[in-house]
């Protein structure tokens, strides 16, 4: 009350008001800035068109509009500065409280020092119970018209989820007159599983990303809508929930278009061609595969396709990159074809571990034999023969790339409707690499049924059947002479 009395001595008209003088009846504060703190640094959605805020051009040699899937400027400073901007989001670790720095401004310089309580009352997706109110004591010096509250935290913590939330924050003050509600602000907040991981590192434990890079609203929106649907929330209280989350993401990527498939790529999206001489997209930006993409020839002589095409391992990397952004570890894997029957009639046993490379492609683990024919020694490797190109050239697949997590595998870039029913109903992927190999071998392209053969590239292209007989074309190998599948 004393403060209220003293406030009556404050001039009733703002100085310099001129013709627009406003009547001031009391000393009031309101929120002019909110910065989410102890969160993960986010970046603006990037277009790769310029270095003018908020955009950043990380790939000057790729003359394409990334349509928001790129990385823009780093979002530091005030996340809210007077008006709601739901395109500027913040990102927190699940099960952590929301911490904020708040800027308050008063209607007039405070005639005397005063102390009051600032309260933030959150509503999360309409719920008033997920998080509770938090308070901070504000000591306002005399003469000041603006103060920063260095920390105010909500009560409680974010749920154990990977989600996007709509926050409505009601700001109120108590201990001064007039008290009560001073602002209502709206925000988009993401909750992720763990600290973001480096999407380039494939290992059993993953590697924390340092510095954190590549979190944008457009990207996290995509992740949360895939796993959480319209309400954008995916609970993760148990490890089996993570399996379901990963499966849901992989399924959507495989069943969507974009991404666009093209076999002539490895992990990274490349512009205009394959190999070290063509621009590569960093794996943290694998999200560009979601672009529809302007069409160019992916390699010299090829028909135009979206510039951001990917092969099965690129799809697996997209899965991995998206999961890594939410702090969920997964690994790259390549299932390689092998047979149980060697030329000469020797049989060998093949285990699930024998047919998969995890983390990196190791060509020394391919099944290779030297087969003599016509005065030359051919170095032949087991491949999965695919249908020929339109010009008649034989083609084959070197591997089936997968995302690997917890011993389970999800092949990349093939619609899950083509998976065995038992795999689809399990909602977690293939149980092991042999199951992938058997299924992969069984997938037909139209009327063409794929099969395994020994394929030599050195000293020249040549094909050999189960007994080591030579063929100039694999399609001449009789069905009964194809290689047996483990």
The binding site for other proteins (CB under 8 A) comprises 200, 263-268, 270, 273-278, 280, 300-303, 311-313, 334, 360-361, 363, 366, 368, 370, 373-377, 379-381, 383, 386, 389-399, 401, 455, 457-463, 470, 472-473
Task: Give the shortest CB-349-to-other proteins separation in angstroms.
Answer: 21
**Which CB atom, from 243 or from 366, has the smaller least distance to other proteins?**
366
Pick the closest to residue 358 from 419, 395, 399 (CA basis).
399
Residues 6+ apart with CB under 8 A from 18: none
Task: Give the shortest CB-336-to-other proteins separation in angstroms.
Answer: 10
**Which CB atom, from 137 or from 457, has the smaller least distance to other proteins?**
457
Looking at the DSSP assignment, which residues form a beta bridge with residue 31? 104
Task: Give the shortest CB-196-to-other proteins separation in angstroms.
Answer: 20
Given a contact cutoff of 8 angstroms between Cβ atoms, the answer to whether 31 and 103 are in contact is yes
Given a contact cutoff of 8 angstroms between Cβ atoms, the answer to whether 250 and 223 are in contact is no
Task: Give the shortest CB-57-to-other proteins separation in angstroms.
Answer: 20
Alpha carbon 484 to chain centroid distance? 38
**Which CB atom, from 88 or from 383, has the smaller least distance to other proteins?**
383
Given a contact cutoff of 8 angstroms between Cβ atoms, the answer to whether 302 and 373 are in contact is no
Task: Give the shortest CB-379-to-other proteins separation in angstroms.
Answer: 5
Given a contact cutoff of 8 angstroms between Cβ atoms, the answer to whether 404 and 331 are in contact is yes
Pick the closest to residue 401 from 414, 417, 419, 388 (CA basis).
414
Distance CA 55, CA 218 (A): 13
**Which CB atom, from 85 or from 398, has the smaller least distance to other proteins?**
398
Q: How many CA atoms lie within 13 A of 125 on its CB side?
A: 12
**Which CB atom, from 31 or from 311, has the smaller least distance to other proteins?**
311
User: Degrees (nearest 5) of the Cα angle 174, 177, 178?
Assistant: 90
Distance CA 301, CA 303 (A): 7
**Which CB atom, from 168 or from 398, has the smaller least distance to other proteins?**
398
Residues 6+ apart with CB under 8 A from 484: 339, 340, 341, 466
Structure tokens at 141: 């010096």
**Which CB atom, from 83 or from 391, has the smaller least distance to other proteins?**
391
Task: Give the shortest CB-273-to-other proteins separation in angstroms.
Answer: 7
Task: Give the shortest CB-423-to-other proteins separation in angstroms.
Answer: 21
**Which CB atom, from 430 or from 464, has the smaller least distance to other proteins?**
464
Task: Give the shortest CB-174-to-other proteins separation in angstroms.
Answer: 58
For residue 305, which phi and psi values (nearest 5 degrees)? -140, 165
Angle formed by the axes of helices 312-325 and 239-255, to 10°? 140
**Which CB atom, from 34 or from 462, has the smaller least distance to other proteins?**
462
Task: Give the shortest CB-29-to-other proteins separation in angstroms.
Answer: 55
């Amino acid at each position: 009350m004393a403060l209220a009395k003293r406030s009556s001595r404050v001039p009733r008209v703002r100085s310099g008001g001129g013709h627009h003088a406003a009547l001031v009846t009391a000393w009031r504060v309101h929120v002019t800035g909110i910065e989410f703190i102890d969160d993960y640094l986010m970046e603006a959605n990037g277009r790769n068109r310029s270095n003018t805020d908020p955009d950043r051009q990380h790939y000057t040699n790729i003359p394409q509009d990334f349509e928001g899937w790129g990385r823009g400027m780093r979002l530091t400073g005030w996340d809210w500065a007077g008006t709601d901007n739901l395109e500027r989001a913040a990102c927190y670790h699940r099960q952590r409280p929301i911490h904020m720095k708040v800027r308050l401004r008063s209607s007039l310089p405070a005639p005397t020092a005063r102390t009051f309580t600032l309260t933030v009352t959150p509503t999360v997706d309409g719920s008033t119970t997920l998080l509770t109110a938090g308070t901070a004591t504000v000591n306002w010096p005399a003469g000041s018209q603006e103060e920063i509250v260095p920390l105010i935290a909500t009560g409680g913590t974010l749920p154990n989820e990977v989600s996007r939330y709509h926050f409505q924050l009601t700001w109120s003050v108590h201990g001064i007159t007039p008290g009560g509600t001073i602002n209502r602000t709206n925000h988009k907040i993401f909750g992720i599983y763990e600290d973001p991981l480096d999407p380039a590192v494939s290992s059993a434990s993953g590697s924390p990303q340092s510095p954190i890079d590549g979190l944008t609203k457009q990207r996290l929106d995509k992740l949360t809508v895939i796993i959480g649907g319209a309400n954008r929330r995916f609970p993760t209280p148990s490890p089996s929930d993570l399996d379901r989350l990963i499966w849901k993401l992989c399924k959507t990527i495989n069943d969507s278009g974009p991404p666009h498939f093209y076999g002539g790529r490895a992990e990274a999206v490349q512009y205009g061609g394959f190999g070290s001489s063509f621009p590569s997209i960093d794996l943290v930006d694998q999200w560009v595969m979601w672009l529809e993409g302007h069409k160019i020839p992916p390699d010299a002589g090829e028909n135009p396709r979206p510039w951001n095409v990917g092969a099965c391992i690129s799809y697996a990397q997209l899965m991995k990159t998206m999961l890594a952004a939410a702090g969920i570890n997964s690994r790259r894997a390549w299932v390689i074809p092998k047979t149980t029957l060697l030329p000469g009639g020797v049989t060998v046993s093949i285990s699930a571990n024998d047919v998969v490379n995890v983390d990196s492609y190791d060509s020394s683990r391919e099944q290779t034999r030297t087969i003599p024919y016509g005065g030359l020694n051919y170095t032949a490797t087991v491949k999965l023969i695919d249908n020929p190109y339109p010009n008649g050239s034989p083609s084959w697949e070197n591997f089936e790339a997968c995302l690997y997590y917890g011993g389970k595998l999800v092949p990349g870039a093939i619609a899950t409707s083509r998976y065995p029913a038992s795999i689809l109903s399990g909602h977690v992927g293939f149980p092991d690499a042999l199951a992938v190999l058997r299924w992969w071998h069984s997938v037909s392209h139209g009327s063409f049924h794929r099969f395994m053969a020994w394929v030599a590239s050195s000293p020249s292209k040549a094909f050999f059947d189960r007994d080591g007989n030579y063929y100039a074309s694999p399609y001449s190998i009789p069905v009964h002479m194809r290689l047996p599948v483990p």
